Amino acid sequence: MTTISDNLQAVEERIRRALRVSARDDGSVHLLAVSKTWPAEAVRQARAAGQRSFGENYVQEGVEKIIALADPGIEWHFIGPLQSNKTREVAEHFAWVHGVDRLKIAERLSAQRPAALPPLQVCIQVNVSGEASKHGVAPAEVRALARAVARLPRLRLRGLMAIPEPSEDESLLRGRFRLLRELRDQLNAEGLALDALSMGMSHDFELAIAEGATIVRVGTAIFGTRTRVD
Ligand SMILES: *Cc1c(COP(=O)(O)O)cnc(C)c1O
């Protein structure tokens, strides 16, 4: 049986190899370990193996783990869909939010971010898959949303995030990732300063790295196949 520590090493090696293939700098991709559905003990094991950033999709489950582990060395990222009645808990407990796709949610997160904490780091989720996806802001609307989010006092807009539709077609997936990078580059050319591209999961992060990913969100390849299906 492989352990979480073995899996982490294998994922880190895959990341290094993908960076090398693209002639990108070692260390230019941040690994986010997606611990949704796994108990706090699994996070503890990954942490003991040196992993620092963890992603959660469900507010209640995530906050319970954050409180149970009480580890100030962990950086918690909220990566799931966010309803407006859950923004306060996210603003109070997480360091990053990846799935912002409406101004109303961003405004609530900014208003509810406790003064004692640093600004909440956010990525805007973009729908790069058209009809095939229902989450994320349409590419044509990213500019207006990004400008409005960038003005909110208690948020720091870091970049864009996407989840392409499931596909075995590598060139299709690469095209989705490329679109996200082009949108980010365009916003930067217009005066924003976005460094983050949150894209790529267990089965496709090499393709995302080839297209410029700076954060990959990896669950299954680290913790194993989830038995709870949502
Ligand atoms: C579950 C999830 C992941 C991780 O997916 P794996 O295929 O298990 O690596 C990444 N990002 C988001 C938004 C997720 O919901």
Residue 228 placed within a domain: no
218 lines ligand 1 (CB under 6 A): yes
Q: What is the mean pLDDT of residues 180-186?
A: 98
57 lines ligand 1 (CB under 6 A): yes
pLDDT at 227: 82
Residue 25 placed within a domain: yes
Dist. CA 190 → ligand 1 center (Å): 31
- Contacts with 203 (C-beta within 8 Å, 6 or more apart), sequence order: 220
Q: What is the CATH number of the domain that holds 56?
A: 3.20.20.10
- The gap from C-alpha 162 to its chain's centroid, in whole angstroms, comes to 8
Measured distance CA(184)–CA(190) in Å, rounded: 10
User: Domain containing 213: what range?
Assistant: 4-223
Residue 229 placed within a domain: no
Pocket mutation for ligand 1, best pick of 32, 127, 217 (most atoms within 8 Å of C-beta): 217
Measured distance CA(49)–CA(116) in Å, rounded: 30
Dist. CA 8 → ligand 1 center (Å): 15
- pLDDT > 70? residue 229: no
Residue 173 placed within a domain: yes
pTM given for the model:
0.97
Residue 27 placed within a domain: yes
Dist. CA 219 → ligand 1 center (Å): 6
Among the atoms of ligand 1, which is closest to the Cα of residue 205?
Answer: 9
Q: For the purposes of burial, counting CB atoms within 10 Å of the CB of 40, is it exposed (0-12), middle (13-18) or buried (19 or more)?
A: middle
Residue 230 placed within a domain: no
Give, using CA atoms, the residue closest to atom 11 of ligand 1: 217
Residue 199 placed within a domain: yes
Amino acid at 28: S
Residue 59 placed within a domain: yes
pLDDT in tens, 77-127: 999 999 999 999 999 999 999 999 999 999 999 999 999 999 999 999 999
* Number of domains comprising the chain: 1
